[in-house]
Amino acid sequence: MKWLVALLMLMTCYSSAACPALDPTLSGELAMNLPDAEQQLTNVLLATQSSDTLPQQTTQSIDCWLAQQSEFYTPLATIRPALTRLSTAAEIGVGHARTSVINEINRSITRDAGTGFIQFPVANGGTTTINLYDDLVTPFCQAHATTDCARATQLAQQLWLIAGYYRALSDSLNRPDKLASLQFNQTLEQQWQSYKDDTIKLWPHEVLVNSLIYQPQKTGLSGPPNYKLLALRPTLGLSYLSDQPHRIQPTINVDLLGIYWWKYSESGNDAASPGRGIAASLVWDGDDTAYGLTYHHNPKWSVSVAHGDENDIVLSVSLQLAYWVLR
């Protein structure tokens, strides 16, 4: 029986001058080889997806085919009003209406190239499923005249195309959301990269501290924070010690507890600014310890002002070891 169906599909199909074919390149044997037709239709629909509505000629052709074939295949009588409603809604498909049309198409119009099943919405809000082989081609070609067999074959082809056009319309309407989602993901990726590379480097124990206090969003993707906590952070400094004979000496500076913050650029590259930071700190010259504040001007160096036990003043410039060691 399959060879007979294949032979009949190559025959001249039933047609009407009133209803032009949706796409003459998808006809005959190719249109009923659904996996190949699926790939072909992807290329055909590229032009369709440049618009937020189906082309008027396509919409009219779909309505014409459904109206003409409803008497021949009665389930089309309930499919036609539902598709007409979707086409009309898509023409004003903005905001909530656009989302509703997308959801309705995705829910009610599906195709399976492997099995030949196709699903359409019906007038009462439900759906109906058609097997293009078992419900159309095989029954009409087994029990009816050659003309009806050709007509059923062409109708199956057109129903496959109609479903494809509406799926393409859904993709087109959903394009702004897809682009916004892609841009959002790219922004987060760039910000996380900038968080790692462009801001102050953290020692492993500081990474642990910041991980413990970071609160990601409960749903969806989360962006990086715009601050880092500093804790027990060692650096090498060159300090002025007011109470020492050799007043310029190397020192070990430690940020006891502090914070470093920045802003992400709004220029499009989403890079972090150099940032600023402040921390409670100590300066140790090998004998005495002075306590004070450290100002982080950028991720590479900082300035400390500290006060010793005997009212001595310590001014220190330090290089951030983490920046050079953890690059």
pLDDT in tens, the chain (327 residues): 343 334 334 333 444 445 666 655 555 554 455 556 555 555 555 454 445 555 566 777 788 888 888 888 888 888 988 888 887 776 655 555 778 888 888 899 988 877 888 999 987 788 999 998 888 888 888 866 677 888 888 888 888 888 888 887 777 777 777 777 888 888 888 889 889 888 999 999 999 999 999 988 877 788 899 999 999 999 999 998 877 677 788 999 999 999 999 998 876 666 788 789 999 999 998 888 999 999 998 888 999 999 987 768 899 999 888 888 887
Tally of structural domains, the chain: 2
Instruction: Reduce the DSSP state of residue 11 to 3 states and report it.
Output: coil
Q: Show Cβ contacts of residue 102 under 8 Å, excluding neighbours closer than 6 positions.
A: 170, 173, 174
Q: Is residue 184 part of a domain?
A: no
Residues 10 and 133 in one domain: yes
Backbone φ, ψ for residue 71 (5° rounding)? -70, -35
Residues 138 and 209 in one domain: no
Q: Is residue 182 part of a domain?
A: no
User: Under a CB-based contact definition with an 8 Å cutoff, are residues 298 and 320 in contact?
Assistant: no
Q: Is residue 178 part of a domain?
A: no
Q: Is residue 320 part of a domain?
A: yes
Q: Show Cβ contacts of residue 5 under 8 Å, excluding neighbours closer than 6 positions.
A: 137, 138, 141, 153
Residues 88 and 44 in one domain: yes
- Please say whether the dihedral angle defined by the alpha carbons of residues 141, 144, 146 and 148, taken in this order, is positive or negative: negative
Residues 125 and 217 in one domain: no
User: Under a CB-based contact definition with an 8 Å cutoff, are residues 138 and 32 in contact?
Assistant: no
User: Under a CB-based contact definition with an 8 Å cutoff, are residues 284 and 251 in contact?
Assistant: yes
Residues 124 and 222 in one domain: no
Residues 62 and 129 in one domain: yes
72 Cα distance to chain centroid: 43
Residues 293 and 155 in one domain: no
Residues 104 and 13 in one domain: yes
Amino acid at 317: V
What is the model's pLDDT at position 13?
A: 41
User: Under a CB-based contact definition with an 8 Å cutoff, are residues 121 and 86 in contact?
Assistant: yes
DSSP code per residue over 157-208: HHHHHHHHHHHHHHHHHTHHHHHHHHHHHHHHHHHHHHHHHTS----HHHHH
Q: Is residue 185 part of a domain?
A: no
Residues 143 and 234 in one domain: no
What is the model's pLDDT at position 78?
A: 87
What is the model's pLDDT at position 11?
A: 37
- Retrieve residue 17's tokens: 């001058």
Residues 76 and 130 in one domain: yes
Range of the domain at 8: 2-173
What is the model's pLDDT at position 200?
A: 92
Q: Is residue 189 part of a domain?
A: no
Query: Which residue among 156, 173, 190 closes a domain?
Result: 173
Rounded CA-CA distance 299/277 in Å is 9
Rounded CA-CA distance 27/280 in Å is 78
Q: Is residue 150 part of a domain?
A: yes
Exposure pattern of 11-24 as b/e (b: 16+ CB <10 Å)? eebbeeeebebbbe
Q: Is residue 210 part of a domain?
A: yes
What is the model's pLDDT at position 155?
A: 85
The DSSP code for 47 is T
What is the model's pLDDT at position 231?
A: 95
Residues 258 and 163 in one domain: no
Residues 308 and 166 in one domain: no
